[in-house]
Amino acid sequence: MANLTDEKSLDIVLDVKVKVTVQLGSVNLPMRDVLELSTGSIVQLMQHASDPVGLFVNDKLVAYGEIVVVEDNFGIKITELVGSVKP
């Protein structure tokens, strides 16, 4: 059986799709408040506008970043990889 660390063996998994999610923030709400949500409702998150957002791959936090606008789309600029040491 081939070792997955071999470069040729790694090619097999490089095209596997993974779910990438950016979490802007969260909040805990009572069900009463959720049921009252309607078009135009504002849900205030427990995040400051300057706080970094989390980048998750298959529900695992891998990085933090800043929200950016690229043309007409939102994006994320990676500012820190989880587990990396800051200089």
Domains along the chain with CATH numbers:
16-81 (2.30.330.10)
- The confidence band for 13, taking pLDDT boundaries of 50, 70 and 90, is confident
- The more confidently predicted of residues 85 and 78 is 78
Residue 4 scores a pLDDT above 60: no
Residue 46 scores a pLDDT above 60: yes
Question: Tokens in use for 87?
Answer: 């200089």
Q: What share of the chain is helix, strand, coil (3-state, %, to 5)?
A: 10, 35, 55
Write the pLDDT tens digit of every residue in 52-78.
999 999 999 999 999 999 999 999 999
- The more confidently predicted of residues 77 and 5 is 77
pTM of the entire structure? Answer: 0.73
Q: Residues 10, 4: contact at Cβ < 8 Å?
A: yes
